[in-house]
Structure 1
Amino acid sequence: MRYQKILCLILFCSPLVLSAQEIKIIDKPIIYDSTRIQLTLQYLKDRHGINQKTVEIEPKIIVLHWTASKTMLSAFNTFNKPTLDGGRKAIAGASNLNVSSQFLIDRDGSIYRLMPENVFARHVIGLNYCAIGVENVGSNDFPLTKEQLIANEQLVRYLSKKYEITHLIGHYEYNQFKGTKLWKETDPNYQTGKTDPGVAFMEKIRINLKDLKLKGASD
């Protein structure tokens, strides 16, 4: 009960602050129970070298992904459970905390918020502690849509006004932060190969958001 009250205050009881550009965000929270909280705090300590008492983060980076699934519901169900439960062997050794993201964007451009932007999600090695994840339903064989491109642009603009965002990257660019001040991963050998959300998608989104002057991974 105590965790439910804490989560209510941290997650969904605060009023939504919209940017000047109107954006529709649908709250569809995943399970963020005591198990996920404890695993998150342990992940922050073990993987990022950060010892703190809350699951809140200070967002600096937005990371765009694709889900490698064909439906919003299948992606949601994957993120919903707090633990990996024996899946994802490539990352299970680092923690049993399940992967997730703050946002999930469907094929039609619908934006779902799975947790508040300033709450920790496991979605990008070395940067989770300061990164907002945006998952898009699609894959290399199931290309992202024009509607998703528009939705990502709207969401990045909203988040950039609400937080001090400095960087916008695709998931495939994350390891370029190694050796920078932003990189916090205690195991130098821990990494996975990524291609999402595709180079072409990132090129388009960066053109559309050029006025925000957000840095890329190499800046």
Structure 2
Amino acid sequence: MKNILLSALLIALLSCKSRFNIVDRPIDFNDQRQDLTLEYLSDRYGLEQDSPKITPRMIVLHWTDIPTLEQSFKAFEGATLPNSREGISSAGALNVSSQFMIDRDGTVYRLMPEDVMARHVIGLNHAAIGVENIGSEKMPLTKSQLKANVELIRYLAKKYPIEYLIGHYEYTNFVGHPLWLEKDDSYRTVKVDPGEDFMNAVRKRTKDLNFKPNPPNK
């Protein structure tokens, strides 16, 4: 009986462990998007590369400010910025994107390879993995999303030399840091995502990963 109980417990633990799953749903990364990514790396960061590969050292959490997964995916899918993004179009035609997107129910979608540059955070894209969560200030992120973010962060921290975990609203703390490469001192946007409460909850649950603290806000 004891062996049966131990076997059942082991099966239950393995079952729980395997529940975290990544669904691949790639956006279009065609030749145009690759060329625009290489152009962005060169123009914004002074990095001349033959491929858009990055070495991830940071995870940046976002919310989409778009209410559904389908609308969010559509916003990222094309290679070039839509006309509605005039505020950032001066910094290049490459469309915004992220490596991951997490739906309201906690489903994790991988939109592009984890080690390929996505445009999601000023100054830091060359070293950052972006995680977009379906939500906004009016539609706060869910408990399922919190759990999924924590599991994704743990997965990524095992694969890459991740040093920092930040919310999008914290990106300007890195101005002047060695990771900050944006050339244009006037190119900044004000961000509040994914919310301080959500970041505090994520940090509490990933404290054991011992990420470096953010540089002080100047």
Secondary structure of 1:165's aligned partner: coil
Structure 1 residues 123-180: Cα deviation after superposition (integer angstroms, max 9, x where no partner): 0000000000000000000000000000000000000000000000000000110011
1:157 to 154, 158, 165: 154
Deviations 1:45-88 (A, max 9, x none): 00011000101100000000000011111100000011013221
2:3 is matched with which residue? none
Q: CA deviation at 1:188?
A: 1.1
1:211 counterpart (200, 208, 211): 208
Q: Which residue of 2 is the match for residue 170 of structure 1? A: 167
2:202 matches 1:201: no
TM-score by length of 1: 0.89
**How far apart are the structure 2 equivalents of 1:43 and 1:83?**
12
Provide the rounded CA distance (Å) in 2 between the counterparts of 1:22 and 1:118. Answer: 24
Write out aligned runs for 1:178-193 (5 A).
Answer: 178-193=175-190
Match of 1:55 among 52, 57, 62: 52
> CA separation in 2, counterparts of 1:137 and 1:148?
9
Q: Output the TM-score relative to the length of structure 2.
A: 0.90
> How many angstroms apart in 2 are the aligned matches of 1:127 and 1:155?
20
- Which letter maps to 1:114? L
1:121 aligns with 2:123: no
Q: Is the 8 A contact 1:61 1:130 kept in 2?
A: yes
Report the secondary structure of 1:74's partner residue.
helix
Distance 1:104 1:69 in 2: 12
1:24-35 correspondence runs (5 A): 24-35=21-32
Q: C-alpha root-mean-square deviation of aligned residues, in Å?
A: 1.2
Q: Distance in 2 between matches of 1:76 and 1:104?
A: 8
Alignment of 1:71-90 (within 5 A): 71-90=68-87
Q: Which amino acid aligns with 1:215?
A: K
Q: Which moved more, 1:21-30 or 1:120-129?
A: 21-30
1:112 corresponds in structure 2 to 109
Deviates more, 1:61-70 or 1:85-94: 85-94
- State the distance in 2 between where 1:42 and 1:124 align: 16
Q: Secondary structure at the match of 2:197?
A: helix
Letter of the structure 1 residue corresponding to residue 215 of structure 2 = S
Q: Which blocks of at least 5 consecutive residues in structure 2 are unaligned? A: 1-16
Aligned to 2:5: none
User: 1:17-72 CA distances to partner (integer Å, 9 max, x unpaired)?
Assistant: xxx87630000000000110010000000001100010110000000000001111
Larger C-alpha radius of gyration, 1 or 2? 2
Which amino acid in the other structure matches residue 110 of structure 2?
R
Shift of 1:216: 3.6
| Corresponding residue pairs, total | 200
